Amino acid sequence: MREFVASRWGVRAGSVLAVVLLLVVAPSMLSVFSLGLLGKFICFAIVAVGIGLAWGRGGMLTLGQGVFFGLGAYIMAMHMKLADASLFGGTGVPDFMSLYGSGDVPGWWEPFRSPAVTLLAVALVPGLVALLLGLAVFKRRVKGAYFAILSQALAAAFAVLLIGQQATTGGSNGLSGFRSFFGFDLQDPANKVMLYSIAVIVLLMMMAAARQLMHSRFGELLVAVRDQEERVRFLGYDPATVKTVVYVLAAAMAGIAGALFVPIVGIVSPADVGVVPSIAFLIGVAIGGRATLLGPVLGALGVAVAQTSLASSFPSFWVYFQGLLFVLVIGFLPGGVASVPRALANLLKQGARTEADRSTGAFSAKSGVPQRAPDGLDVSTGPIREEASR
């Protein structure tokens, strides 16, 4: 089964199945409302693909993905606000600005009048921010917890900045009340289905890109940087470059997801981008299996579904549940659900294992590498390395 899933035909069959399920079955079975919800979950799944690369494969604990998600979302929202204003208002000034501000459009909004600039910026601006932070941090070999804390501080500062600039960002209310998306009426159910389909296609493209990257030499290097950064440096590679590239990629994915989130959900506010939502992106990735390709996507979808169904009826219970998920999954199942079959198999083989370990000492017979992986991830990376080298 595992061999089939990893094989070329398995991937093709899986992709076809996913396309049919998400693009044909779901739109015909679900109501427009549920389809919108599913579209929102798919946006989270796109973020999760990037986190899976950066965190699961690269070992960078990115606690600030909400910033990149938010940058993409706000850029798209600014464009839609401006477009709405010139389509329906006539003045070209978004409604909330004349309410809170001077009634003038600030200069840094102007570039986003252009659809082309907007489409480029939703990926490039988050990527650029990640590039600057990544170069500043990784080149100076600031890593591990330091990086995690800095990325978290970035999320906190971004949310504070958005709330503080009420007149130009909508403050804590955020931006909402969009009526059109590149000229398409957002009230029209057909356009809602179209938006959903775009999100699905983007998700599948991102997954394909992530898979390509994981299976390339660069992907191998990335895992090597995660597990033995110093050794990679001594071999002549620059781990900082590898990490920065993947961090930028993850940021761009989050930005694109944010840009899709806005027309589908219809609002973006600082509550979607701060410290807590940024960390919340991680739990789905952890549950599914952070170092795998499908794990983060399925985990993110699963958590989003659970949150929507539980949080509305039992809000307090959901918070406890979310907290417990972090404690239990990260504490006891760091490889996520994806590692369960292998963990069970290991448990069955344990008798034979201990014998082998004794004869080779602290080194594993297979790779000759000391067994102590820094993040306890050896369980989940095993199968991936095998399939990558096949």
Partner 1 sequence: MELLIGQMFAGLSLGSVLLLAALGLSLTFGQMGVINMAHGEFMMAGAYTAFVVQRSVSDAGISLLVSIPVGFLVGGLMGLVLEAVHLRRMYHRPMDTLLVTFGVALILQQVARDVFGAPSVDVRAPAWLQGNVELLGSPIPLTRLFILILSLLCLAALAFLLRGTSLGRRIRAVVLNRDLAESSGISTRRTDQLTFFIGSGLAGIAGVAVTLIGSTSPYLGTNYIVDAFLVVVAGGVGQIKGAVIAAFSLGVLQSALEFSTTASIGKVLILVLIVVFLQLRPQGIFSLKTRSLA
Contacting residues toward partner 1, per CB under 8 A = 59, 61, 63, 133, 136-137, 140-142, 144-146, 148-150, 152-154, 156-158, 160-161, 163-165, 230, 275-276, 279, 282-283, 286, 316, 319-320, 322-327, 330-331, 334, 372, 374-376
Q: To the nearest whole angstrom, how small is the minimum distance from the Cβ of residue 334 to partner 1?
A: 6
Q: To the nearest whole angstrom, how small is the minimum distance from the Cβ of residue 320 to partner 1?
A: 6
Q: To the nearest whole angstrom, how small is the minimum distance from the Cβ of residue 226 to partner 1?
A: 11
Q: To the nearest whole angstrom, how small is the minimum distance from the Cβ of residue 39 to partner 1?
A: 27
Strand partners, 363: 370
Q: To the nearest whole angstrom, how small is the minimum distance from the Cβ of residue 157 to partner 1?
A: 5
C-beta closer to partner 1: residue 20 or 324 = 324
Q: To the nearest whole angstrom, how small is the minimum distance from the Cβ of residue 184 to partner 1?
A: 35
C-beta closer to partner 1: residue 9 or 234 = 234
Strand partners, 181: 184
Q: How far lies 53's CA from each of 16, 145, 264, 333, in Å?
A: 23, 18, 25, 19
263 SS3 class: helix
C-beta closer to partner 1: residue 164 or 189 = 164
Residues 375 and 201: beta-carbon distance below 8 Å:
no
Please state, in angstroms and rounded to a whole number, the distance separating the CA atoms of residues 178 and 80.
Answer: 7
Strand partners, 180: 185
Instruction: For the chain, report the end-to-end CA distance as a whole number of angstroms.
Output: 16
C-beta closer to partner 1: residue 127 or 270 = 270
Q: To the nearest whole angstrom, how small is the minimum distance from the Cβ of residue 27 to partner 1?
A: 35
Please state, in angstroms and rounded to a whole number, the distance separating the CA atoms of residues 53 and 222.
Answer: 9
Show the CA angle centred on residue 256, arms to residues 118 and 127, nearest 5°. Answer: 80
Closest CA to 206 of 66, 361, 42: 42
C-beta closer to partner 1: residue 278 or 292 = 278
C-beta closer to partner 1: residue 8 or 372 = 372
Q: To the nearest whole angstrom, how small is the minimum distance from the Cβ of residue 49 to partner 1?
A: 19
Q: How far lies 238's CA from each of 207, 222, 232, 242, in Å?
A: 26, 11, 8, 7
C-beta closer to partner 1: residue 141 or 349 = 141
Q: In this structure, which amino acid lies at residue 127?
A: G
C-beta closer to partner 1: residue 184 or 326 = 326
Compute and round to an integer the Cα radius of gyration of the chain.
Answer: 22
* DSSP notation for 323-357: HHHIIIIIHH-TT-GGGHHHHHHHHHHHHHHHHHH
